[in-house]
Amino acid sequence: MWKQFAKLISMLGLTGLLTAGATTATAGPFAYTMKDLMLCFRKVGGTSDLEVNLGQASIYYNATPGAIFTITNFTAGQLTSAFGSSYANVSWSVSGGVNIAGDPNAPRNTLWLSAPRTDPAVQSLPWLTGSIAAQGNTVSPVLTVGSTAASYSSSVAAGANNTATAVIIPDGNLQSYHATIGDNGDFGAFQGNIENTTPTPFTGSGNFVRSDLYTLKPNGTAIFLGYFDLFANGTMTFTAAGGVVVPPPTIAIANTSVLIATNGTSNAVFTVTLSTNSSSAVSVDYFTANGTALAGTDYTSTTGTLNFPAGTTNLTITVPALGRPTYKNTVNFTVQLANPVNATLGTSSAMGTIVDAFLPPVTTGAFALANQTATLSFSSFAGVSYTLRYTNFAGLRSPVSTWATAAGSVTGNGETLTLNDSTPDPGRIYVLQATRIP
């Protein structure tokens, strides 16, 4: 496999491109061909940009998954010449494009762009793909980066800072990378900043920053090719993913509950989440359905569509729960998801539980006659636990929760229940305590 890869590099005339042991090209001028990927560095307030040709994009989208390449077509010495001995606060990106038809792997106005990771262990949010015309607006400046680098290179003498694969260009020059990508790192009109920036300080052999590489075919789905790591010692590697099509996210909805007063309304709020970030806008329809709760009586029937903008992973659905004049048992309804776009359904149904905000009325107390047992019968409500507690006159100043339990507890079921203290004791005072079951 490696021999085939090396042969491909040789055919492309970029023998200084990848892998340890290769000799960095030292002859100029800088060479650039459409579909070459450009690795470019700049520094805010700096005086120079370093522009590097990484070779044809096919090298990266045809690479064996898991392969790690050392990029050798630029040197730490060239980084030092451009930015000084410290590589802190250096911005860099990878970009490439094609504006002609004929290649099924790279249709007209295909883009290859980097996306910086904020956490090296977490893949970046893939870029959105667009129409042929929309992507053409970005392909044009992307191609300009390579062509102007080649033009500048041909106008100055070859040397350590002007080779076949790397050239240093004054930052204020109109042919520089900075002049084309702009201050925001987005070529003036792209959907986001494709640049990564090294931290301050940026030292230590294990310190690195990571950017992902994506193929963006017009009207397609972003394809993850792998990631570049730039190390503090000025070296770089590429780890291939093998052209993994970024899978669509899964949509899930979670159960919720709401306390409802006797008057007015309260909102049952359902959280809907995407399993991963999506480079495409995601939508899903939703509607409510009766359970023991009835639309119009216990809640307001609700339908609609949730629209997740690219990069958004959490939205909510609000269903009004209706007040009632008297206490009512706990009831429930469901919210169903359907018709996902650019996503798949995971947990597609969630239960909304409506709980009365106030406890039901209970028997407040009773006296036991001398040497007689106590029995209390009461109408129970589901979702409530009932406990028979007792004390004597001396304990009346103590909180009911500290009174002794006479007959354990019983769970309400909507029927008449009985609790009984079978121990005769003169002067006991009883209270039936109601507690909502969580």
Do 61 and 9 form a contact (C-beta atoms < 8 A)? no
C-alpha radius of gyration, the chain, whole number: 35
Residues 6+ apart with CB under 8 A from 312: 274
Residue-wise pLDDT tens digits, 106-121:
999 999 999 999 999 8
pLDDT band at 12 (very low <50, low <70, confident <90, very high): very low
Q: How far is CA 247 from CA 194, 226, 415, 426, in A?
A: 21, 15, 52, 74
CA distance 151 to 163: 13
Do 79 and 236 form a contact (C-beta atoms < 8 A)? no
Do 386 and 378 form a contact (C-beta atoms < 8 A)? yes
Q: What is the total residue count of the chain?
A: 438
Residue-wise pLDDT tens digits, 300-332:
999 999 999 877 899 999 999 998 776 677 889
236-245 and 68-71 strand pairing: antiparallel
Strand, coil or helix: 104:
coil
Residue-wise pLDDT tens digits, 371-415:
566 677 777 777 788 888 887 777 777 787 778 887 777 887 778
Residue-wise pLDDT tens digits, 60-90:
999 988 899 899 999 999 999 999 988 999 9
Domains and CATH numbers, the chain: 2-245 (no CATH), 250-356 (2.60.40.2030), 366-436 (no CATH)
pTM: 0.59
Residue-wise pLDDT tens digits, 145-187:
999 999 999 999 999 999 999 999 998 899 999 999 999 999 9
29: cis peptide before it, omega within 30°? yes
CA distance 37 to 53: 6
Helix, strand, coil % in the chain, rounded to nearest 5:
15, 40, 45
Q: Phi first, then psi: give them for residue 235, nearest 5 degrees.
A: -100, 165
